[in-house]
Structures are given as structure tokens and as C-alpha cells.
Amino acid sequence: MTYIRAMTDPAAIPIIAYGPLYPYLDEALAWRFAVHAVAADADPEALPPQVREARALVSFGSVGASAAIMDALPKLEMIGLFSVGYDKVDVAHARAKGIRVTNTPDVLTDDVADLAVGLLYATVRHIAANDRMVRAGDWARGVKPALCGRVTGKRIGILGLGRIGRAIARRLEAVAGEILYHSRRPVAGTAYRYVADPLDFARASDVIIVATSGGPEARGLVDAAMLDALGPEGMIVNISRGSVIDEDALVAALAEKRIAGAGLDVFANEPHVPEALFSMDHVVLQPHQGSATVETRKAMADLVLANLDAWVSGRPLLTPVA
Ligand SMILES: NC(=O)C1=CN([C@@H]2O[C@H](COP(=O)(O)OP(=O)(O)OC[C@H]3O[C@@H](n4cnc5c(N)ncnc54)[C@H](O)[C@@H]3O)[C@@H](O)[C@H]2O)C=CC1
Ligand SMILES: O=CC(=O)O
């Protein structure tokens, strides 16, 4: 997508780049608007008067936009989110104040699904642990790596069959023994088996891949009972949000080998990862990299810019959340 300057000159429109964004997006915003960079941990009530004039705010998913920052910006009309997940945006507050919110769905779906599948293979086939043992010289010293399970034939349970969940399922059709899913309700137009009860779903899965949206409704959806239902041969992959799994329960289940392994891209308190996981060879850790490819980050930035363009010129927003 080529970024085109809108008919109305927006160069004087004050906007906020909130928290660290992404160089391509930062540059395009600076070319386009009067940008104020505001750190994610800045006190909203201490913002200087010229920053309070901001009419739009662009934010990364991990930063979002709280009610406090919205209240500190009396002229705010638009929040452009550089992520699909909007769990860190107080959407109800934005709606109540008439502030529009956009996100970046679809353009990142394939890359996030790829990482989920990569984590599945890395966890089931011990790829990260075996890499470590080769580098440490253990193989050369005659250490025999433990045999692992196979991916082929596994019953894959997708928790949250949305855009990314469906893309994961499509990728795994070629190898899975069965693909089943749990969502709040059955998804129309899919042949995968729907399991309404979360514990039955966990019992019927060899691997659960968490692909729900985050936020209060999904908080702690995967709890100790669900991990026990998954069982000692079971594994879990999470590319959704750390908050969807009870992290203490997960660490305990992994430490006590009540589940067999985990591949985790997301954590409850990023960038902090429970230290207990660092020494666990049956856990594969990623620093929230689902959409972090050159191609996708550019596509996400272009979608943020296209939504801002639409807002400036009064056209319908492309991907509105509110
Ligand atoms: N690891 C990463 O870098 C990335 C993570 N994500 C996460 O993936 C999430 C999903 O993205 P999309 O598939 O595009 O969203 P989506 O809205 O298409 O799908 C979310 C699915 O989760 C289901 N769901 C929500 N709450 C649920 C609950 N309590 N119980 C059962 N199912 C529930 C919804 O019904 C929906 O089917 C995002 O909201 C974000 O949190 C997205 C992009 C990158
Ligand atoms: O976590 C990333 C997102 O786009 O949501």
C-alpha cells in the first residue's frame, strides 16, 4: 500500500505517538502530522499543554489507551492501535466519549498462525532443548537426547476459533489426527468438532493452542483444572495473551510435570517472564513475536496510516473497533 497525503493538510494536526512504535510508522506519522512522542509510562495528568491538544493517539497493543490518557486529552477523536488485540484499550470509555478506535486485523493473521505452528513443533519435537544440548557440546560428549513425541496424529484443540485460530487449524489439517475447538459458541461454516465444555475440550486434546482474544472475558480461562484435564501427556501453546492462562497454575503444572510442555509467546506481565520457566527444558519461550516480521509490521503500519487517512478526510474507518 502506498501512503498518500490526504487532500486536507493534516500537518498541523497534533497527534500522540504513545510508547515505542516502529521506525517506519514513526517516520510516516512525523511526515504527516504534528507528532508528540509520549512515553508509555508518562503520567497522563502531567502532560504539557501542547500535548493535551492531541486529536489522535497511535499506540502499540501492549500499551493501549487507558481511561486516564483519554481523559487527559479533551480533544481526542481517534485511537489508532498498532495491533489487532485491543485488550489494553478501555473501549467502553472510548465509546462513551465518542472516541473512535481502530486496530490491525487480518494483515497479521498468517504470521501469528505460523509462529503458533512453529511453537507447536518446537515444543513437541524438543527443538529448542536439543539446540541447547548441541551448542553445549553434550551431543559430542555422547549424551543421547531423549526421544520426543510426534506431531502427526495429534489431536489439536484450538481455544478461540477466530481469524488466527482458523489459520492455525488450516495449517495443521495436513498432520493433525483431529482438530477440535472451544469458543464461546460454535463457529458457523467449519467442520471442526466443537466442544462446549472447556474441561471436556482439554481432555479431548493432546495439544491446546490458545488463540482467543484477551481482556476480562477470557482472563484465567485456562486454569489449573483445565491444565489437569489436559493431563501429563498434554502440551499447550499460547500466542493469544498471557492473561488467558492462569500463569501461576501453568508454572506449577509444568514444574510438577502435570502437563508435558508449553510453547509460550505471551505472558501475563510482559516483558517479565516467570523465572521458574527459564530452567525448564520442556518449555519454549518467545518474546511476543507473533506478528514481528518485516512484511507484517509494515502492513500493520500501513493499515494504521490508512485508518488515520480515513479519519482525517471524513471517510469510513477501515478497521474500526469503536
Ligand atoms: N502473539 C502475538 O504476537 C499476537 C497475538 N494476538 C492475539 O490473538 C488474538 C486473536 O486475534 P484474532 O484471531 O485476529 O481475533 P478474533 O477476534 O478473530 O478471534 C478471537 C476469538 O477468540 C474467541 N474468544 C474470545 N473470548 C473467548 C472466551 N472467553 N472463550 C472462548 N473463546 C473466546 C472469540 O469468539 C473469537 O473467535 C488477539 O486478540 C491478540 O490477543 C494477535 C496478534 C499477534
Ligand atoms: O499481540 C499483538 C496484536 O496484534 O494483538
- pLDDT tens profile 299-308: 999 999 999 9
> Of all protein residues, whose CA lies closest to atom 2 belonging to ligand 2?
83
CB atoms within 10 A of CB 216: 8
- For ligand 1, the distance from its centroid to the CA atom of residue 86, given in whole angstroms, is 10
- Does the CB atom of residue 10 touch ligand 2 within 6 A? no
- Does the CB atom of residue 69 touch ligand 2 within 6 A? no
> What is the per-residue pLDDT for 11?
84
Same domain (yes/no): 226, 209? yes
> What is the per-residue pLDDT for 8?
52
Residue 275 lies in a domain: yes
> What is the per-residue pLDDT for 20?
85
Same domain (yes/no): 31, 130? no
Same domain (yes/no): 259, 244? yes
Residue 5 lies in a domain: no
Residue 4 lies in a domain: no
Residue 214 lies in a domain: yes
Same domain (yes/no): 99, 187? no
- pTM score over 0.80: yes
**Complex-level ipTM:** 0.99
- For ligand 1, the distance from its centroid to the CA atom of residue 168, given in whole angstroms, is 12
- CATH code, 182: 3.40.50.720
The dihedral over CA atoms of 17, 22, 25, 29, expressed in degrees to the nearest 10, equals 30
Per-residue pLDDT of the chain (322 residues; tens, 9 = 90+): 334 444 457 789 999 999 889 999 999 999 999 999 999 999 999 999 999 999 999 999 999 999 999 999 999 999 999 999 999 999 999 999 999 999 999 999 999 999 999 999 999 999 999 999 999 999 999 999 999 999 999 999 999 999 999 999 999 999 999 999 999 999 999 999 999 999 999 999 999 999 999 999 999 999 999 999 999 999 999 999 999 999 999 999 999 999 999 999 999 999 999 999 999 999 999 999 999 999 999 999 999 999 999 999 999 999 999 9
> What is the per-residue pLDDT for 207?
99
Cell (9 digits) for 200: 471436556
Q: What is the pLDDT of residues 52-66, one digit of tens each?
A: 999 999 999 999 999
Nearest ligand for residue 84 CA: 2
How far is 167 from 181, CA to CA, in rounded Å?
13
Same domain (yes/no): 34, 151? no
> Of all protein residues, whose CA lies closest to atom 5 belonging to ligand 2?
85
- For ligand 2, the distance from its centroid to the CA atom of residue 237, given in whole angstroms, is 16
> What is the per-residue pLDDT for 148?
97
Domain carrying residue 21: 10-107+294-313
Same domain (yes/no): 159, 217? yes
Residue type, 260: A
Locate the ligand 1 atom nearest the alpha carbon of residue 111 and give its number: 44
Q: Which residues, 6 or more positions from 124, have their beta carbon under 8 angstroms from its beta carbon?
A: 148, 149, 150, 151, 154, 207, 235, 261
- For residues 49 and 92, the answer to whether their CB atoms sit within 8 Å is no
By C-alpha distance, which of 239, 125, 231 is closest to 175?
125
Nearest ligand for residue 160 CA: 1
Same domain (yes/no): 196, 269? yes
Place of cell 512515553: 39
Domain count, the chain: 2
Residue 205 lies in a domain: yes
Q: Which residues, 6 or more positions from 278, have their beta carbon under 8 angstroms from its beta carbon?
A: 285
CB atoms within 10 A of CB 105: 18
- Does the CB atom of residue 83 touch ligand 2 within 6 A? yes
How far is 133 from 140, CA to CA, in rounded Å?
9
Cell (9 digits) for 284: 519454549
Same domain (yes/no): 143, 261? yes
Residues labelled as active-site residues: 241, 270, 288
Residue 129 lies in a domain: yes
- Does the CB atom of residue 284 touch ligand 1 within 6 A? no
Pocket test for ligand 2, best of 112, 213, 238, 264 (most atoms within 8 A of CB): 112
Nearest ligand for residue 291 CA: 1
For the chain, the residue count is 322
- Does the CB atom of residue 214 touch ligand 2 within 6 A? no
Same domain (yes/no): 144, 223? yes
